[in-house]
Amino acid sequence: MAKILVIPGSNRSGSYNVKLAAVAAKELALLGADVTRISLIDYPLPLYDADLKSNQGVEKNALKLAEMISVHDGIFIASPEYNSSISPLLKNTIDWISVIRKKDDKPWTPLKGKIVGLGAASPGNLGGVRGLNHLRDVLVSVGCQVISEQTLVPTAGKAFAEDGSLVAERAIKSIGNTCQSLHRVSQVLG
């Protein structure tokens, strides 16, 4: 059974990406995955600052997230698009985790080789695809293996039903495909 960590890239109350993360978590659980859904609200991090890191070491919450990542085979990230790019919350979180090099004096790079699936929900018509392209590049640059399938949810204000499920046929099919692939690859390579 693959262990999958689900992370929404937004802490906003009423976030569309929190909703999308919930849909993905449900889908992955139905596929038989052991799913952990977290909120980055519980792991606050200061803006990455190399002096802060040199003086005080890697932030505790970055280390906690790194531990969480390392005990999972795969990750699903639901990410908002900000100015055609990655959300500052996600970029900062990835930056902090990416500077971890050691655990108990042994080499440790928790993101390296991690299988990742992506989704985005956005009020716009493009569904956050430009943000996901940048997020994919960033994750690949820190050694993640990002699967090709991804889910875009455009016009997100109208995309979710009262019970949190997706409304549009296309989005329902897409999240199914993304989760199936993430689960399968995490089982084999995770």
Ligand X SMILES: Cc1cc2nc3c(=O)[nH]c(=O)nc-3n(C[C@H](O)[C@H](O)[C@H](O)COP(=O)(O)O)c2cc1C
Among 5, 6, 16, 97, binds ligand X (CB under 6 A): 16
Is position 151 an interface residue for ligand X (rule: CB under 6 A)?
Answer: no
36 in helix, strand or coil? strand
Query: What is d(CA 35, CA 2) in angstroms, rounded to the nearest whole number?
Result: 8
Among 25, 59, 74, 80, binds ligand X (CB under 6 A): 80
- Which segment (7-15, 22-30, 40-48, 179-187) binds ligand X by CB under 6 A? 7-15
SS (H, E, C) 59-94: CHHHHHHHHHHHCCCEEEEECCEECCEECHHHHHHH
Number of H helices, E strands in the chain: 6, 9
Contact 172, 140 (CB under 8 A): no
Which among 84, 75, 73 has a CA at the least distance from the CA of 132?
84
Is position 124 an interface residue for ligand X (rule: CB under 6 A)?
Answer: yes
Is position 76 an interface residue for ligand X (rule: CB under 6 A)?
Answer: no
| Least gap, CB of 76 to ligand X (angstroms) | 14
Among 41, 46, 60, 84, binds ligand X (CB under 6 A): 84
Instruction: Please list the residues that pair with 76 across neighbouring strands.
Output: 6, 117
Which among 25, 67, 60 has a CA at the least distance from the CA of 43?
60
Among 6, 7, 15, 75, binds ligand X (CB under 6 A): 15
Minimum CB distance to ligand X smaller for 2 or for 156: 156
Minimum CB distance to ligand X smaller for 56 or for 84: 84
Q: Interface residues with ligand X (CB under 6 A)? A: 10, 12, 15-17, 80-84, 122-124, 128
